């Protein structure tokens, strides 16, 4: 199956933490290009809140990820 590079973002207090990490591991074991980004002090969907410094940091990581995968002409998938 052709699958784009994927960035999986996990918060340490996210109720879906275990599922997200298993998804990341499945991608890697399946030979897919996957990146795990962890924020140990954050919860699920923290990124829309600009008052958190981690939100700004994640936006920068999104930008870097997209630049990295598109510069090699790959399609990006962000989870």
pLDDT in tens, the chain (79 residues): 688 999 999 999 999 999 999 999 999 999 999 999 999 999 999 999 999 999 999 999 999 999 988 886 555 566 6
Report DSSP state, residue 52. Answer: S
Domain count, the chain: 1
d(CA 79, CA 77): 7
Return the number of other C-beta atoms located less than 10 Å from residue 34's C-beta: 20
Please choose, from the candidates 4, 9, 3, the residue with its C-alpha nearest in 3D space to the C-alpha of residue 79.
9
Tell me which residue range forms the domain holding 57: 5-78
pTM of the model: 0.83
- Give the CA dihedral 41, 44, 47, 49, nearest 10 degrees: -90
């Amino acid at each position: 199956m052709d699958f784009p590079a994927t960035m999986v973002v996990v918060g340490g207090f996210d109720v879906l933490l275990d599922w997200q990490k298993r998804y990341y591991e499945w991608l890697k074991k399946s030979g897919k290009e996957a990146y795990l980004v962890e924020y140990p002090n954050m919860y699920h969907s923290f990124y829309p809140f600009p008052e958190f410094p981690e939100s700004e940091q994640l936006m920068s990581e999104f930008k870097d990820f997209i630049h990295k995968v598109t510069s090699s002409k790959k399609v990006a998938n962000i989870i």
